[in-house]
Amino acid sequence: MNDYIEYLLQSGICLGVFYIIFWLFMRNDTSFIQNRLYLIFSIIISTIAPFAQIHIPVSNETTAAILLEEIIVTPHGMVNSLVADTNFPEIILMIYLAGVFFMSVRLIYQLLQIMIIIKRYGIIRYRELYIVNMKKEYAPFSILNLIFINSDLNDRSQLEKIISHERVHVRQKHTIDLMIMELMAVVQWFNPFVWLLKHAVKINHEYLADEGVLKAGHDKVNYQRLLLNQVFGMQICTLTNNFNQSLIKRRLTMMSKNRNNHLSGLKLVLLVPVTLAFAMFFSISFSAKVMAQEEAQLKQKQQQQQLTDKDAVFTVVEKMPTFKGGPEAFAEYFSTNVKYPDIPRKKGIDGTSFVTFIVEKDGSISNVELLRGFNDACDQEAVRVVKAMPAWNPGMEKGKAVRVKFNVPVKFVLDKEEKVLKGEARPGTPPPPPKGE
């Protein structure tokens, strides 16, 4: 699951980089075919780039150990983040899957809508085109090789322009782009850049279709008048290319802009390598810390081969040691035994003590040491409680009990009110004046 989350994050970042570059440098270009290629290219690269991870080796000479969840201690008791956050990943997963389910149902519903319209009104052949002549006030649209119109709402000249517009969508297979975007939206429904890219793809389709109408010989002024006067009908779904898209003013502006294909082509040549470099940078694995730990573990295992079975200490084994009774019992033990020392509490001192220990073959606790501390009293309390832990269920490797090393952070925390009572200034309040003034 962690790998999938990392994939979604890296893919989403790549999409964001591609879109930002498009918005900054390409959205006002009139080279619509190049813009389409760039947008589809960005989606494909963002999908596959995270799989081509570049792993940066990080050396780590320290002895690795599994880091347990942080133990949080307050003057009022103990809060164990392991127990408190146990359901958090599950909740996030449920929210994500609910979004995927909703988006999937939405996509299926849109496809069913189109199938119902086709079944209700049928398909007729018009020249080389396949037409569905609707009898409701739907906006003209196209999907795959089908053009949906309501011929009752348009005169002959208007109808020819509308069909010419939708013919471009059909011939250039714009539905494929939209389907790719819809599938991307199902997987990454939470990513705003998916929706921004989807909008960019659709409006670029309209630019391409407008361009195709003018290249077919239709008068630009009459066609622009049609766009302004066309009765706006209901849009069927986001899977279709609709003649009556919004942003009419922008479409009219793009039709009137001068073409500079040489500059646009040069811009594309320069931007693609830069964007690829960004995408590859963001697809680099962000788990250097984990890799460092794996490297240290490998080195440790090689060292363990030179040690006797009695002395070997593992960090990862087939069956990891567990506290008897599970996480709840672990939390209960610390809640009952750990205390916030009076002196640092009264002085408003808080911080984290890192303690390392070994779970022996019989489950007993040994080699308890302070790795890093912040206050003698708190450090001693953390070490004391860890030393006093009851026996664990031992770790197992190849059917034999083995020694396993752990690190546990014990965090001593004071709330803001308590810090103020200990003499710390409230945020936004001036310090007290020096004595004698």
Q: What residue segments make up the domains of the chain, in order of their start?
A: 2-57+86-283, 307-421
Euclidean distance between CA atoms 225 and 8, whole angstroms = 44
* Residue in this structure with the two tokens 């939209």, named with its chain if needed: 178
pLDDT in tens, 322-377: 999 888 888 888 878 888 898 988 888 889 999 999 999 999 999 999 999 999 99
Q: Percent of the chain having pLDDT more than 90?
A: 29
This prediction's pTM? 0.59
Which CATH code, of 3.30.420.40, 1.10.150.20, 3.40.50.300, 3.30.2420.10, is assigned to 307-421?
Answer: 3.30.2420.10
**Please, are residues 164 and 217 in contact by the beta-carbon 8 Å criterion?**
no
The pLDDT assigned to 46 comes to 85
Euclidean distance between CA atoms 272 and 265, whole angstroms = 11
* Mutual angle of helices 174-187 and 88-121, in 10-degree steps: 150
**Please, are residues 390 and 341 in contact by the beta-carbon 8 Å criterion?**
no
Euclidean distance between CA atoms 100 and 81, whole angstroms = 29
CA distances (Å), 296 to each of 57, 64, 145, 314, in order? 11, 6, 58, 11
pLDDT confidence bin for 154, thresholds 50/70/90: low
Q: H/E element holding 242?
A: strand 241-242
Count of alpha carbons within 13 Å of 225, Cβ hemisphere only? 7
pLDDT confidence bin for 234, thresholds 50/70/90: low
The pLDDT assigned to 187 comes to 92
Residue with the larger pLDDT of the pair 275 and 161: 161
Q: Across the chain, which distance is largest between two alpha carbons, in Å?
A: 99
Residue with the larger pLDDT of the pair 186 and 276: 186
Q: What is the mean pLDDT of residues 54-71?
A: 54
Contacts of 307 (CB under 8 A, 6+ apart): none
CA distances (Å), 385 to each of 334, 388, 404, in order? 7, 5, 19
Euclidean distance between CA atoms 59 and 311, whole angstroms = 25
pLDDT confidence bin for 28, thresholds 50/70/90: confident
The pLDDT assigned to 185 comes to 93
pLDDT confidence bin for 139, thresholds 50/70/90: confident
